[in-house]
Amino acid sequence: MVLLILTTVISILSVLVMPKCISWIEMYTTSLFVMFLGSVGDVYLDVKYDLYGFFTKGVSK
């Protein structure tokens, strides 16, 4: 668990310190697009195919 936390913190810090060739607005826009695309994919898979029910509809008993 300690290794996981340490690796995560080091990875996040290295990404924040790394020089970037794109502007902040491009990073912000890309992040928003990815969140929107993930949400649309989750809703589509859940509503159309009911894939998040794990083979049964509704809450497990």
The per-residue pLDDT for range 15-56, each reduced to its tens digit, is 999 998 999 899 999 999 999 999 999 888 888 877 776 666
Q: What is the pTM of this model?
A: 0.57
Q: In this structure, are residues 47 and 53 in contact, taking their beta carbons and an 8 Å threshold?
A: no
Residues 7, 11: Cα–Cα separation, whole Å: 6
Name residue, tokens 């080091």. 10
Q: In this structure, are residues 25 and 18 in contact, taking their beta carbons and an 8 Å threshold?
A: no
Is the pLDDT higher at 32 or at 60? 32
Q: In this structure, are residues 42 and 35 in contact, taking their beta carbons and an 8 Å threshold?
A: no
- Beta carbons within 8 Å of 52's beta carbon, 6+ residues apart: 42, 45, 46
